[in-house]
A and B are shown apart, each in its own frame.
Chain A
Amino acid sequence: MILADALSRRYGDRLAIRDVSFKARPGEILGFLGPNGAGKTTTMRILTGFLAPTAGRAAVADFDVVRQPLEAKRRLGYLPETLPLYDDLTAREYLGFVARLKGVDGRKIGDAIDRAMTLCGITDVADRLVRNLSRGYRQRVGLAQAIVHDPPVLILDEPTSAMDPRQIVEIRNVIKGLRGSHTIILSTHILPEATAVCDRVIVINEGRVVAVDTYEQLAARLRRSEKTLVRVARPDGRLTGRLAALRGAVHVTPGEGTGEVVVEAGLGADLREEIARTVVEAGAGLLELRPLAMSLEDVFLRLVTHEEAAEEPRA
């Protein structure tokens, strides 16, 4: 339903994203998880046709966003990071304007507005000027705008920012309610948000996709092991065997470069001393030895890993 194929985007000399590829399957909610400046907004802007990619290809509902922009945009609802609201209109007028802009048939506009307002819980404020709404309600009007034409694909850039915990739960339920009938990508830098709503998570950091998986598997992959990279001058099969025989070693695999071996140990085990001794005794010529910090782990460390307000509910 949504395809990103080797997307790159340059701002001047800076590469904001490079080689970003992923697919969203029909009906799933895909989380786009990454710290500030990771490139989430940039990627979403390319998917919506707001920005052109420097390289690569993006498609929405099988329509290329650069070559068939109107077809792609017709099937797309988009909540930008900064809410695109007209302060001088009421919520209802605003949604009417958007519905027309999105090409909703004139006779169905009234129903479309009512449906979107009911889903997002803004019926009460329908006739108030958008200017006078609270930040959380403005966010809801923004979300209503994205779904008013009932598009099959939704791209939501931080849909729950600036909401209070109760509202966050409500909006997440709205989004979950759209699962199945809609394909959704939502970005967040809050780990529990991805856990709470998404079927699968794309972790992005410094413009690169670091992992794509379900949250449970990502977490499992993170916790499973401690990895150490060894680089030697004269690698041979016997060294691998000796390393694998070390106490605590779980797995020994060849690394990416020549002469590299990755030793995987149980969580908390530090095998560096033993590894060094083994390599030297084998006469393989130790060149390098360092713990392998997984970039996924780095990313998770930089994420907001808890929701302060949500964790301290006031009685």
Chain B
Amino acid sequence: MRGTLVITRKELRQLFSSPIAYVALAMFFVVNGFLFYALVGGYTLQVLQLQGTPPPDFNPTRIIFTPLYQDMTFVLMLLVPVLTMRLVSEEDRARTMELVVTSPVTNSAILLRKYLDVILLFGVLLVISAIMPLSLALIGRLDWGLLGATYTGLVLLGAAFLAIGLFASTLNENQIVSAAIGFALLLMFYVVGFAQQAAGTGGQQILSALSISAHFSNLASGIVDTTDALYFLSLAGFFLFLGIVALEARKWR
């Protein structure tokens, strides 16, 4: 466990030695903060219009936080590739990968190690983002079930996004290119949902089954379904596997 923490410290140190990481994190908090502010403003307006007699299905959590976290997935599509781009690319560029690969660890251990590190960092981000609902909890009652489902969704979505970003990082020793590949992959999984209308009924089902947005909307509206969880977990598993294959293939180049 101590070893784990030390390695994580090394990764963190590397991450934060790049200005890009600061910019990305600042962007994450500023954009989310702004969205939060705007949504709370919209909510206040609605309350004023209702004049103190809310309908029975009136749910402040749904009005403020469901759209907030929907929008946050867009922000994560930009942020995650920046968090993952250095993981392998930077080690390739600095030639430290030759040390890592010739050590008594398997390629899967190398990649999983990096994956866990970045998941941990992502977890810290989520915890910090929880300040937003917690600050409202001080002045009103929140729907904790809905929030729990949403955060479960964010963890699952993050796990899949990070695996995709990590895979992209194994492909190129230029971190900017890796970030771009990661973003392109994420975007692809996001927009397949938009093509639903164009496709026939059969195609529609397949496309929506592949789409990140469709699965996340379920979770963000409070429905925790094993299908959605399985979707994100298999996406993560598949891209981790591809990453390991990519590392293995290097020996034969």
Contacts and interface: CB of A to CB of B under 8 A. Distances in A.
Contacts of B97: 84
Q: Which range holds the interface residue count of chain B?
A: 20 to 34
B94 A80 contact: no
B13 A50 contact: no
Contacts of A80: 95, 98-99, 102
A262 B157 CA distance: 75
A83 B95 contact: yes
A83 B94 CA distance: 8
A182 interface: no
Given A50-B251, A51-B251, A100-B3, A84 B95 contact: yes
A48 interface: yes
A85 B94 contact: yes
Nearest to B17: A88
Contacts of A89: 10, 13
Contact of B10 (A49, A51, A85, A93): A93
Contact of A102 (B2, B6, B96, B104): B104
Contact of B106 (A70, A74, A76, A85): A70
Contact of A100 (B7, B252, B253): B7
Nearest to B106: A70
A96 B6 contact: yes
Contacts, number: 73
B181 to A, nearest CB: 24
Interface in B83-116: 94-106
Given A48-B102, A73-B103, A97 B6 contact: yes
Given A52-B251, A89-B13, A106-B2, A73 B102 contact: yes
A84 B10 contact: no
Contacts of A73: 102-104
A214 B105 CA distance: 36
B14 interface: yes
Contacts of B106: 70
Contact of A101 (B105, B251, B253): B105
Nearest to A100: B3
B98 A86 contact: no
B41 to A, nearest CB: 42
Interface string B1-28: 0110011001001100100000000000
Contact of B104 (A50, A51, A103): A103
A6 B105 CA distance: 27
B103 A84 contact: no
Nearest to B251: A52
A87 interface: yes
Contact of B96 (A45, A70, A71, A85): A85
Nearest to B100: A101
Interface in A75-112: 76, 78, 80, 82-89, 93, 96-98, 100-103, 106
Given A86-B14, A89-B10, A100-B3, A78 B94 contact: no
Contacts of B13: 88-89
B7 A97 contact: yes
A11 B250 CA distance: 12
Given A89-B10, A97-B7, A102 B103 contact: yes
A234 B95 CA distance: 59
A101 B103 contact: yes
Contacts of B96: 84-86
A143 to B, nearest CB: 13
A70 B94 contact: no
A45 B98 CA distance: 9
Contacts of A84: 94-100
B102 A49 contact: yes
A103 B105 CA distance: 9
A73 B10 CA distance: 23
Nearest to A49: B102
A160 interface: no
A199 B168 CA distance: 46
B99 A78 contact: yes
A19 to B, nearest CB: 19
A228 interface: no
B102 A145 contact: no
A78 B102 contact: yes
B24 to A, nearest CB: 18
A92 to B, nearest CB: 12
B57 to A, nearest CB: 53
Contact of B252 (A52, A74, A87, A93): A52
B95 A82 contact: yes
A106 B3 contact: yes
A84 B93 CA distance: 10
Query: Nearest 9 pairs between A and B by C-beta?
Result: A84-B99, A82-B95, A52-B251, A73-B104, A74-B104, A84-B96, A48-B102, A80-B98, A101-B103
Interface of B: 2-3, 6-7, 10, 13-14, 17, 94-106, 251-253
18 contacts: A49-B101, A50-B102, A50-B251, A52-B251, A52-B252, A78-B98, A80-B95, A80-B98, A80-B102, A82-B95, A85-B94, A85-B96, A86-B94, A88-B10, A97-B6, A101-B99, A106-B3, A145-B99
